[in-house]
Every structure is written in C-alpha cells, then in structure tokens.
Copies of this chain bind each other. A is one copy, B any other.
C-alpha cells in the first residue's frame, strides 16, 4: 500500500478533464453496471437535498496517463488489476452540466459549473462476484443495465454509448471468455452472449455458429456433480485465436 502522504500530495492535472468508467458486471442472469450513490446534504441542517446515481468518475493525477487514471478508478472500486478496460469515446458537449443537481454538486466541491468539463469514457467488463463495493465513503452498487433510467450529468448517454461499444467488441473479439471458468459448457457461453447482447439466441443456431470458432476447444471432459445430464466442457485457446485472427483479417478483404 502507498503511504497516505503520497496520495495527499498528488495534484490533479486540471479541473477541465476527467475520466468516467462504465464498469459492466456479468452474472449469468443479467448485465449490470456499477453505480455510485451521490447524496447531497445541507451542511447546516444535515437534511438531504437530493440523492441520485453516477458512473464512477474521477480526475486525472499529474503523473497519470488517461488509461492509468481509469485503471486506478477500476482498482479502487474492485480491487482488481489487469482487467479488460477500453477507451471508447470522449464527451464534451456544451450542455453537459446543465441540471440543477449537477451544478449544486460541482459548486459544493469548489468547481465552476459553467466550466466545460471534457470526460474520457472507458468501459470494463468483469464477473459481478469479483467486486468489493466501497469507494471514497460512497455506496457503490450493481444495478441491472435494463433498470437504469436516469443518471447524473450526461452519464446516461455515456452508459448507452458504452453498451453499444461493448456489444460491438463482443461480436468482434473473444472478450466474453474472461467471464467464464477455464472449462465451461456451451450453455454458459451462450448465456454470455445472450446477457450482454440482450437477446435470446436459438440453441441450435448458436452451436452451429460457435462450431466454426477454431479457438473453442472441445475437451474430453464432462461436467461433474450436476443434477442434469452432464454437458461437455470446452476451453478457450488464445494462441489459436491470435493466429486465426490474422487469417480473418486477411480474409476480410
């Protein structure tokens, strides 16, 4: 652990650029997103002025690259390092900070809500069970993406754009395998695609399609200790993926 004094003397690069992390959590039932409670309390009366939710965002320290700031936020929220983390879009519309709650919140922390703050969006994908839910004294909670209807600032737009980017990545790259145990069934793999794409897939079609994935290795093993008929286990071969990927790119045109 770093000494506390070091943390305290770190300076942010400025008040005009931030990083927001859309941390997606997968749990075989639904796709979730990690949201942070934002509670504004009147200092004199102790009465709550408002309470809503934000994505996990933060400033950038002087010694950090943008991706390092995003990885720090992810680590602070989850205790995890070397997790899939992707920069997907930067947001800086003139009206980003126009709602009363957002203005109050910024003013309370000594910032000018009329300043333009540009935020660099990152998204991440992990298994929901891997998270310890505390951050800077604020409550952090998994919420099903389908139930999120309103967020602070323009975080709803950022979430939607992240979801589009995540789904495109899932179709183009084997990012879903990190959510599975090293040996998994085709039903589990299908759930990864169904949950993240938000669709229901035909089992037979799905199996026909994944049978073309050379990097999906059929093992001479079956599930143990399950109530139903044990299913065959599979594993993901990254080396095979890397080499077929090159072929695929050659083939693309």
Contacts and interface: CB of A to CB of B under 8 A. Distances in A.
A221 interface: no
A171 B249 contact: yes
Interface stretch (A9-17, A74-82, A97-105, A137-145): A9-17
A116 B62 contact: yes
A94 interface: yes
Interface residues of A, number: 34
Nearest to A249: B171
Interface string A184-217: 0000000001000100010000100110000000
Contacts of A91: 66
28 contacts: A13-B115, A13-B116, A13-B118, A14-B14, A14-B16, A14-B115, A14-B116, A16-B16, A16-B17, A17-B92, A17-B116, A17-B118, A62-B94, A63-B94, A65-B92, A65-B93, A87-B89, A87-B90, A90-B120, A92-B120, A118-B118, A118-B120, A170-B253, A171-B252, A171-B253, A172-B252, A201-B253, A206-B253
